[in-house]
Amino acid sequence: MPQTGEPVVLERTVPRPTTRPAEPEADPEAPAPPARRVRVRARWRRDWLLLAVLGPGLVLLVLFNYVPLLGNVIAFQDYQPYLGIENSTWVGFENFQVLFSGDARVTNAVINTLIISTIQIVVIFPIPLALALLLNSILAERIKTVVQSILYLPHFLSWVIVVSIFQSMLGDAGLVNTWLRSIGADTFSFVGNPDTFLALVTTQSIWRDAGWSMILFLAALSAVDQQLYEAAAVDGASKLRQLWHVTLPGIRGMIVLLLILRLGDVLSVGFEQLILQQDAVGLAASEVIDTYVYNNGIVAGNWGLSAAVGLIKGIIGVVLVLLANKAAHLFGERGLYQS
Amino acid sequence: MQLDRRKFLGLSAAVGATALLAACTPQQSAGSGGGSAFGNLPDYTPVNGPTPDIAGDLSKDILDVFTKFPANPPTLVSDVPGDGSEITGVIFISDAGAGPSMGNNAFWKNANEQVNAKLNLTSIVQGQDSVTKVQSLIAGNDLPELVQFDLKFPQLSGVLPAKFTDLTEFLAGDAVKEFPNLAGIPEQYWRGASFGGGIYGIPLVFGRMNFVMQTRADIFEKMGLTPSVSNKQDFLDLCAALTQPSANRWAIGNARGTLNYAKEMHGAPSVWVQDAGKFTHTWETDAFVDALSYVRDMWSAGYMHPDSFAGNTSLEQLFAGGTIAMSGLSSIYDMPYYLENYTKDFPELRIAPMAPPEYEPGKTIKTGYPGVYSLMAIKKTSDKERVRMLLRVLDWFASPFGSTEYLATRYGVEGVDYDLKGTDPILTSQGINETKVQLQFLARSVDPLYVAGRPEAAETLDSYQRQVAPFLNVDAAFGLQSATFDRKGAQLTAEMTDAQNAVLQGRRPVSDWKGIVADWKKNGGDAMRGEYEKSFAAAPWN
């Protein structure tokens, strides 16, 4: 909060509707509009640089996030790229029927998505937190930095490379199995096996991204006041008690924030990672909503139908974020924004 | 809306009445079966090339054979085809990966110089990637001038008339004589380029023998095996003998190719078969089900490389490196390709094609291919001179074997990309790398069988083609129109491939296949059948 008397929090430019009569000390001489203009001008003079810096980002946001939203109209069309939006036939809600008609492929995709998503939230989400807590307990700064770097570097490998690494290391014809064969031992089938597909994608996700997500928690951890630990230690709290009573409450805001964002993505479980491995394990195990939209829409040419599925997915995502945010407010957290 | 109509009127002069009609009624797919769906095709005038060592007969699917590259190759195209301008295009990438970019590619720069144009080409992976890339180029109105189209591209009969030039006035009948090398493409291949009465591309000809089962003759010899089988059990025995996982070797490594060979062994047709005007799909036959369970057993016996179903493995590397001893996903031109490109790294490499055994006493089937790998379409334009220029450039690329143009389109620059050994152009390492940019995908002549520096290999291929050509079975639906295939073909094929893989890998019982086919029929299979039957009845070549 700034030290000057000037409030930075957004002021309402429209006077608050009030049943009370205008208070005498509210400067009855000055009519409201000019006063507002002065204030706006003053704020503009103060903030123009910040706004200018924000400009390019805003343009990109509008151009690449908001303008494409208009393309969602093809969900109500039998859209064909060669006809364009203006010449494609309008079909109303026909494309949405597939969601409610019990289409086997859609059902399969939705179920797979929910399963993978649940695993991501229950299994994968806590791992970076655990890593961060472990790493935070290492005192030697050098070791800490080295471990941190090793853990987050895989994040910079694209999925194509990650998938290839897993296949050439753990695949049936990969390094480990080839070695096992050469010594006459039994081999295992982990990659390209529908039964182990969930375990495989989970392992890949953890290996690639856990280190990266850990950094956010590390940042939050560094913000916890050291005096609290000292006070807790003086009161005789064990390390475990300190973790429970100081560390976790200290980073609760960050945990809730990330969880809300994750919930909004509950129907997106990663596209590249899955599509790259789809041939080997088949659609039954690997088709999720995003790959369905791609396979059915862009590859097979059912654009409108895929757009409809994608649109519903987006709407559900927004609703979930809002609900989770509401819940966070109820528990006294800040969430994504304040109400 | 108004603007569009005006644009249309402006274009109508160039595209002809049929195309306009097709473009104005987009909901109805252009050739849903009427007689007008088949337009005039270019007349066939064979190109006067060098005399082959063994003459073939295209009408019987026997290709010419050359054991040596002709000495003193003539230059066939006398005029400079290009006008010095830039030509943009999208072509497929080779399985071996992307070659060097234009600036670092002597082979490419030489071709630019020869045709007097700057060929600004983007390479894309054939299949799904090419479909998505081209779809987004269409949606973004960002099409280059030349686009290589997979024949399975969704809504092709709508896309081509709407966005690409009808080449009828430039190519139909004897107009094609202006482009003598394109005139050397036989009529049957042009059927694949005909949509709604127009000609919408140059067919890329790859011969009609597809899925040639190739064997590593050197590995066979070392193990005391012969690449020849006379029945289904023989092949299994061969696979058992070749499979040695501890030595990192498997008999075979590709699900599609293996299944195809099994189809031949069991007498299942290639795709659609026509009998007295009635169409049947291979999936509906008992022979196909037998083939499925045969390959399923091979997979569970471990004869197939573990990555056989993964789309991201390079079959080329596995086969050239000897990790798999047989490979079934190849055109007849693959053997020359492997030998010319991989002998440097794998000097022991020898390949022999293996004919399918009789499936019943006295009966053999060799699954063939309509012979058209893709179409090279020209973006819609009213500039006729530009179209002529582009066609001249494509004509140059379609120059036949034995010409200097052929050396430039396939082998590059002498002393840089290839060295002459006798008269044979042997690719250098640089040439192998640079020719990965598949300029030959712009247009191709009907190639003879020839392997640079390996006269005996061409002869081996010749005896193979003479053995199997009489039994060639080609998709009866080629050149026929089906609105349902256009609309749902890609989706249905993907679903069937997935189900097929599930059965082959043992995730679903073979007995499920009947139900899978019943679903396919209901979801469009039967509709396609009906449309093909109608289109077949109207086809002029019948």
Q: Do residue A220 and residue A245 come from a single domain?
A: yes
Residue B35 has a CB neighbour count (10 Å cut-off) of: 12
- What's the pLDDT score for residue B11? 34
Helices B513-520 and B483-504, axial angle in degrees (round to 10): 170
Task: For residue B512, give every residue at least 6 positions away whose Cβ sits within 8 Å of its Cβ, in sequence order, or none.
Answer: B499, B503
Chains A, B: CB contacts within 8 A come to 101
Indicate the pairing of strand B424-427 with strand B418-421. antiparallel
The β-bridge partners of B88 are B120
A195 lies in the same domain as A70: no
User: Which pLDDT tens digits describe chain A residue by residue (339 residues)?
Assistant: 334 444 444 444 444 444 444 444 444 454 455 556 668 888 888 888 998 999 999 999 999 989 988 989 999 998 988 888 888 889 988 889 888 888 888 899 999 999 999 998 899 989 999 999 888 888 788 998 899 899 989 999 999 999 999 988 998 888 999 899 888 888 888 888 888 999 999 999 999 999 998 988 888 888 888 888 888 888 888 888 888 888 888 888 888 888 888 887 888 888 999 998 888 888 889 999 999 988 888 888 888 988 999 899 989 988 988 888 888 888 777 777 765
Chain mean position to CA B290: 27
Q: What is the pLDDT of residue A86?
A: 87
Mutate which: B4, B6, B15, B135, vs A, most A CBs within 10 A: B135
Residue A262 forms part of a structural domain: yes
Tokens at A213, concatenated: 């997500």
Q: What is the maximal distance between C-alpha atoms in chain B?
A: 74
Please give the structure tokens belonging to residue B507.
């995730």
CB-CB under 8 Å, A89 with B246: no
My answer on whether A187 and A269 are in the same domain is yes
**Residues A60, A178 within the same domain:** no
Domain final residue pick, A51, A76, A101: A76
Specify the pLDDT at position A332. Answer: 79
Query: What is the CATH T-level fold of the domain B2-40+69-206+371-448, as seen in this structure?
Result: D-Maltodextrin-Binding Protein; domain 2 (3.40.190)
| pLDDT reported for residue B312 | 62
ipTM of the complex: 0.77
Which residue on chain B is closest to A181 by alpha carbon? Answer: B246
For residue A244, is it within any domain? yes
d(CA B499, CA B514): 11
Question: Are residues A182 and A148 part of one domain?
Answer: yes
Contacts of A182 in chain B (CB under 8 A): 246
Is the separation of the CB atoms in A118 and A244 below 8 Å? no
Percentage above 90 pLDDT, chain B: 69
Query: Can you give the pLDDT at residue A34?
Result: 56
Residue A294 is assigned to a structural domain of this protein: yes
Distance separating alpha carbons of residues B349 and B325, to the nearest angstrom: 11
Helices and strands in chain B: count of H runs, count of E runs: 20, 17
Edge-to-edge strand ranges of the sheet holding B86-92: B118-124, B86-92, B146-149, B372-378, B202-205
Tell me, what's the pLDDT at B313?
66
Is A171 in the B-facing interface, judged by CB distances under 8 Å?
Answer: yes
Q: How much is the average pLDDT of B393-412?
A: 95
Q: Are A211 and A276 in a shared domain?
A: yes
Residue to test with chain A: of B24, B244, B300, B307, most A Cβ within 10 A: B307
Task: Among A17-21, A101-105, B89-93, B294-298, name the most confident range.
Answer: B294-298
Please provide the distance, in angstroms rounded to a whole number, between the alpha carbons at the two ends of chain B: 42
pLDDT given at position B362: 87
The answer to whether the CB atoms of B248 and A282 lie below 8 A apart is no
Start and end residues for every CATH 3.40.190.10 domain found in chain B: 2-40+69-206+371-448, 214-367+473-538
Task: Give the pLDDT mean for B464-482.
Answer: 91
**CATH, residue A124:** 1.10.3720.10
pLDDT of residue B392: 96
Residue A27 lies in a domain: no
Give the end of a domain, one of A76, A110, A138: A76
In this structure, the answer to whether residues A161 and A216 fall within a common structural domain is yes
Give the CA diameter of chain A: 96
Residue of A nearest to B490 (CA): A300
Say yes or no to pLDDT of B25 above 70: no
Give me the amino acid identity at B418: Y
Name the residue among B155, B305, B310 with its Cβ closest to that of A80: B155
pLDDT of the residue at B23: 36
If one looks up domain B214-367+473-538 in CATH, what number appears? 3.40.190.10
For residues A136 and A189, state if they share a domain. Answer: yes
In a domain, A9, yes or no: no
Q: Is residue A300 part of a domain?
A: yes
Q: What's the mean pLDDT in B206-235?
A: 91
Residue-level pLDDT at A338: 67
- Please indicate, yes or no, whether residues A59 and A113 belong to a single structural domain of this protein: no
Rounded CA separation B513/B499 (Å)? 8
* A176 & A283 share domain: yes
Give residue A4's pLDDT.
41
Percent of chain B surpassing pLDDT 70: 92
Indicate whether A228 belongs to any domain: yes
Q: Is residue A178 part of a domain?
A: yes
Name which of B154, B188, B161, B144 is nearest B30 in CA terms: B161
* Per-residue pLDDT at B175: 94
> CB distance from A117 to chain B under 8 Å?
no
Same domain, A139 and A274: yes
Chain centroid, CA A14 distance in Å: 35
Residues A182 and A49 in one domain: no
Residue recorded with tokens 């390079």: B314
Q: Please, which residues bridge with residue B266 across strands?
A: none
Specify the pLDDT at position B322: 92
Mean pLDDT (whole number) for B342-364 = 91
**Lowest mean pLDDT across A134-143, B30-39, B261-270:** B30-39
The answer on pLDDT for B8 being more than 50 is no
Name the residue range of residue A186's domain.
93-330
Domain count, chain A: 2
Angle at A139 between CA A134 and CA A145, to 5 degrees: 75
Asked if the Cβ–Cβ distance from B132 to A299 is below 8 Å, we say: yes
Two tokens, residue B76: 């066939």
Q: Choose the closest CB to B138 out of A82, A105, A182.
A: A82
- Please tell me which residue of chain B has the smallest CA distance to A278: B310
**Residue B105 confidence (pLDDT) above 50:** yes
Q: What is the pLDDT of residue A11?
A: 41
Residue A108 contacts B where some CB pair is shorter than 8 Å: no
Question: Could you tell me if B541 and B40 are in contact, meaning their C-beta atoms sit under 8 angstroms apart?
Answer: no
Checking A60-68 for CB contacts under 8 A at 24+ apart, the result is none
Q: Which of B136, B155, B494 sits opposite A295 (nearest CB)?
A: B494
Q: Residue B400 has what DSSP assignment?
A: P
Q: Is B402 left (phi over 0), alpha (psi -120 to 50) or beta?
A: left
B278-283 mean pLDDT = 96
| pLDDT for residue B468 | 93
